Amino acid sequence: IVLKILPNLGLGDRIPSHQELERMEKEEAGDRPKWDNKTQYMLTCVGFCVGLGNVWRFPYLCQSHGGGAFMIPFLILLVLEGIPLLHLEFAIGQRLRSGSVGVWTAINPYLTGVGIASLLVSFLVGMYYNTIIAWVMWYFFNSFQNPLPWSQCPVNANLTDLVSECTRSSPVDYFWYRDTLNTSTSIGDSGGLQWWMVLCLLCAWLLLYVCCLRGIATTGKAVYVTSTLPYVVLTIFLIRGLTLKGSLDGIKFLFTPDLNELMNPSTWLDAGAQVFYSFSLAFGGLISFSSYNSVHNNCEQDAVIISIINGFTSVYSATVIYSIIGFRATERFDDCLEGNILALLNAFNLAEGSIKEGNYAESLQNLNGTFPETIQSLDLKTCDLQTFLSQGVEGTGLAFIVFTEAITKMPVSPLWSILFFIMLFCLGLSTMFGSIEGTVVPLQDLNIFPKRWPKEAITGIVCLVSFVIALIFAQSSGNYWLALFDSFAGSIPLLVIAFCEMIAVVYIYGIDRFNKDIEFMIGHKPNLFWQVTWRFVSPLIVLVIFVFYFVTKVSSNVTYIAWNPSSEDFPTLEVLEYPAWIYVIIFILAGVPSLVVPGTAIFKLIRRCCSNKNVYGAEVDTVSAKVQMFTTKMS
């Protein structure tokens, strides 16, 4: 069943024809930024796709959805959803040679909203993502001391005892929630700006600015380091991890397959969502990067290679992370057992070495038989390795709590800490390059700023405005705001944009025209696999994930978890409900970018009806698509 292509007048006038593209290739190739070489382009795309999510989201999903069995839905959806969408974005960017706003406006002026939505999402996500980088930098700065500040509890003010908040939880928890975030007890309690966080945030944005200053001329050089260093560090950690005790337990725990999980629909949905977000689709950055390529670059090959690299990186980093988590779990288990054994030895005055790990269970049983009340009063802890292994959390908890604790147990901890946070920094920064690209280029295309303003100024303004707004995250309640942004700004709008992108290319631009374009660019028509996935499979998968997410978010009570030292279950995080005014913020984050898509179309329709102007001709006045479309020169 092939839907009739929707009517699309004047398409030929808005986009360069194949002959024009050939001519541009030979003659005017100097006026648009170009990649210095193919390596820069590949490294930038890999850096954009490979981010913090590969390190701290995928391993958790893998472990909680049946280990090795999770690979099956992940790989299937990678092939059916990730690769087609990636190829689509690369091809359309390379063909129409402009950023997201330029591309969608060229396809149909009523679709400008898709580009604007991409712009808004890139902007919002970039803000909170760079705050995570600021946190990483804070930890990095604090790694240059021995012992590490999160390895022991600080002494309280009158030097009588250790700080109670720390002894009740743990030194790593205390350092994260108190020394780093100085977190308040609820999102409504702002608590003022934390000066050290403001400094780190400033440093993060300045560093981003220096790398993105001249667009791909500067980021193209930076990616040689930021995209390759994480792999080096991961390998170092793998070698170090495998020599530690208990690492193989961790890896076994990660990959032990539980095929029953495949029956669970949430496994497939989580896999689909992970593939989608992991590829950084719908941000507009990939379209932009691909538009700087030569017209005959093989985008099909690129899409497949980058997808494979992304999938491989997820699995590789999961292995490394879980080897270290296995080590940590074993250390905790050994400490727990040792504590119990010491308690027994002390209570019964037995000789040292009489109870060891091997005969612990037996000895405990004997003693319990003869002196049950004493055993009761000792309050021995249950030590179970599996419990410790499944404490591998995701997100910031994994990086700043679990992993940092594991690092303190390794010899020469500051070195490992520095390496780890450099790796996280590089992963985050290379993703930010794509985010900035997805924000700055559409702003230029929309002519928000005067054309004679240099790129440095526009990038500077974007960084400055983002920094000022991101100061919300430097408050005491900043952590809760970030979780809010992460749940809403970076989830639903992206799915909407991706769905619209596919419909726009396949049905509005026309799949036949698209096929011919690809044949012109790379020399052969896309085969049956691409046809089926672009037309039906990928849009369907994205629609299903969107419906599921929307329904879950709308029907459930939106809650968040807070750190409250005076709560009953401390140190377990408290579950709180959002106050009523947060729903306005949620609407701004998730609703506005999504509604901009139809909103812009309606706005243009009204404007056209009122002024009776020819919308299809004069609108495309973009900086990035400098082609001779009209007989009159552009001003």
List interacting residues with other proteins (CB under 8 A).
25-27, 29-38, 137-138, 140-142, 144-145, 154-155, 159-162, 196, 199-200, 202-203, 206-207, 209-210, 213-215, 217-218, 294, 296-298, 300-301, 345-346, 349-353, 444, 451, 454-456, 522-524, 623-624, 626
Q: How far is the CB of 6 from other proteins (least distance, A)?
A: 31
Q: How far is the CB of 27 from other proteins (least distance, A)?
A: 7
Angle at 489 between CA 200 and CA 186, to 5 degrees: 65
Using the minimum distance from each CB to other proteins, give the nearer residue, 199 or 364.
199
The reply, when asked if residue 47 is annotated as ligand binding, is yes
The reply, when asked if residue 310 is annotated as ligand binding, is yes
Q: How far is the CB of 374 from other proteins (least distance, A)?
A: 15
Residue type, 438: G
How far apart are alpha carbons 480 and 464 in whole angstroms? 23
Using the minimum distance from each CB to other proteins, give the nearer residue, 33 or 68.
33
145: Cβ–Cβ under 8 A, 6 or more apart, which residues?
A: 414
Per DSSP, 108 falls in state -
Using the minimum distance from each CB to other proteins, give the nearer residue, 448 or 561.
448
Using the minimum distance from each CB to other proteins, give the nearer residue, 32 or 553.
32
Using the minimum distance from each CB to other proteins, give the nearer residue, 199 or 576.
199
Q: How far is the CB of 188 from other proteins (least distance, A)?
A: 30
Supply the angle between the helices 492-503 and 538-555 in degrees, to the nearest 10.
150
Using the minimum distance from each CB to other proteins, give the nearer residue, 349 or 612.
349
Give the 3-state secondary structure of 194-237.
Answer: CHHHHHHHHHHHHHHHHHHCCCHHHHHHHHHHHCCHHHHHHHHH
Q: How far is the CB of 367 from other proteins (least distance, A)?
A: 15
The reply, when asked if residue 291 is annotated as ligand binding, is no
The reply, when asked if residue 556 is annotated as ligand binding, is no
Long-range CB contacts (< 8 A, 24+ apart) of 545-554? 545/269, 545/272, 545/273, 545/276, 545/495, 546/492, 546/495, 546/496, 546/499, 548/269, 549/273, 549/491, 549/492, 549/495, 550/492, 553/487, 553/488, 553/492
Do 225 and 298 touch, CB atoms closer than 8 A?
no
13: Cβ–Cβ under 8 A, 6 or more apart, which residues?
A: 616, 617, 629
How far apart are alpha carbons 279 and 434 in whole angstroms? 11
633 to each of 29, 93, 221, 238, 313, how far by Cα in Å? Answer: 18, 24, 34, 58, 48
Q: How far is the CB of 538 from other proteins (least distance, A)?
A: 21
SS3 560: strand
Q: How far is the CB of 422 from other proteins (least distance, A)?
A: 12
Annotated binding site for Na(+): 47, 50, 54, 278, 310, 427
